[in-house]
Copies of this chain bind each other. A is one copy, B any other.
């Protein structure tokens, strides 16, 4: 984002009118190089969230092909499935893509090896501390980017050798922390020296530009990519995201320490009622066993879990990943006066 310095160091032709000059400067300044595009070898600083069940190889490959960084979400899937996903993505794109390793996955150890064996370039991690895989991944040249929800965790990940962190605000879909993007991102930026990727509540050029102002070097988006044409999520799921208003998400699990943001439906009402009644964790888990798969694969948006961020209220149409990324970059270019 150091465009001022960059512009000053490039010599340019001098036109007769301010307008010409301005346009020339503007044209020369178009440059979306950031620490993250350099680190990952991508064109635009837009990373797709590694959503479990949702972020499979079609979506990841499409985002990477469009110039961002696609991510395959390993979620709770077996290692063999993750390997297959990586291989299929490689058939669709020669550009770099990543894998999100959910550290509570029972096969996390094997998945950690699979990403090395398959030559994956970038790994993001969620739900824990990837410390024990760090040496192996770094040796394989993998860029390791943990997702964090607090300054403390960001600092810990930097010490552990992370190449960057995703600072994810509570407005995100799925498993969340408490700090919002607006407050978390600048505080993480101040606390670490590695690049910071902002996530949570970002779905257009305005959110992208805002994240840059907060000091981020890239954004990660989940909810908008959920409704991408290349995303294989059930159409019912996409339509729920598109129909959602600004305050249509609910957070379940606040009382049991596993907060999850999703779109309100019969399931969230029942879950919140159980929480109010002080039900046991077992009772609550019975309700959500396989419920994300049910929504994503079967399109059951009544008793399934429709994970999505608050910004679903602004997501209004299906587009290709390329259309989304180009639209966002074009809006951001105007706002940031690149």
CB 8 Å contact bits of A1-32 with B (1 = contact, 0 = none): 00110011011101111110110010000000
Q: When the two chains form their complex, are residues A201 and B213 in contact, meaning their CB atoms are under 8 A apart?
A: no
- A181 on interface, CB distance cutoff 8 Å: yes
- A263 on interface, CB distance cutoff 8 Å: no
Residues of B within 8 A of A151 (CB): 245-247, 313
Interface size class of A (residues with CB under 8 A): 35 or more
Cβ distance A268 to chain B, nearest Cβ, rounded Å:
13
Q: When the two chains form their complex, are residues A207 and B186 in contact, meaning their CB atoms are under 8 A apart?
A: yes
Cβ distance A114 to chain B, nearest Cβ, rounded Å:
33
Cβ distance A144 to chain B, nearest Cβ, rounded Å:
22
Residues of B within 8 A of A18 (CB): 7-8, 10-12, 14, 25
Q: When the two chains form their complex, are residues A310 and B186 in contact, meaning their CB atoms are under 8 A apart?
A: no
Residues of B within 8 A of A184 (CB): 246
User: Residue on B with the closest CB to A16?
Assistant: B14
Cβ distance A207 to chain B, nearest Cβ, rounded Å:
6
Residues of B within 8 A of A186 (CB): 204, 206-207, 314
Residues of B within 8 A of A334 (CB): 4
- A287 on interface, CB distance cutoff 8 Å: no
Residues of B within 8 A of A247 (CB): 150-152, 177-179
Q: When the two chains form their complex, are residues B337 and A3 in contact, meaning their CB atoms are under 8 A apart?
A: yes
CB 8 Å contact bits of A285-317 with B (1 = contact, 0 = none): 000000000000000000000000111011000
Cβ distance A327 to chain B, nearest Cβ, rounded Å:
14
Separation of A14 and B337 alpha carbons in the complex (Å):
20
Separation of A186 and B334 alpha carbons in the complex (Å):
16
Cβ distance A220 to chain B, nearest Cβ, rounded Å:
13
B-facing residues in A262-280 (Cβ within 8 Å): 276, 278
B-facing residues in A195-217 (Cβ within 8 Å): 200-202, 204, 206-207, 209-215
Separation of A335 and B14 alpha carbons in the complex (Å):
25
CB 8 Å contact bits of A153-194 with B (1 = contact, 0 = none): 000000000000000011100000111111110110010000
Q: When the two chains form their complex, are residues A207 and B214 in contact, meaning their CB atoms are under 8 A apart?
A: yes
Cβ distance A183 to chain B, nearest Cβ, rounded Å:
4
List of 8 A-B pairs having minimum Cβ-Cβ separation, nearest first: A182-B201, A209-B213, A210-B210, A183-B310, A210-B213, A12-B18, A180-B180, A171-B180
Query: What are 13 A-B contacts with C-beta separation under 8 Å?
Result: A8-B18, A11-B17, A14-B17, A22-B25, A151-B245, A151-B313, A177-B247, A178-B247, A180-B181, A182-B202, A182-B210, A190-B314, A213-B335
- A150-B247, A181-B182, A182-B182 given; 20 more Cβ-contact pairs under 8 Å: A8-B19, A11-B18, A12-B18, A21-B25, A151-B246, A151-B313, A152-B245, A152-B246, A152-B247, A169-B182, A180-B180, A180-B200, A182-B200, A182-B201, A183-B201, A186-B204, A187-B246, A209-B210, A210-B211, A337-B337
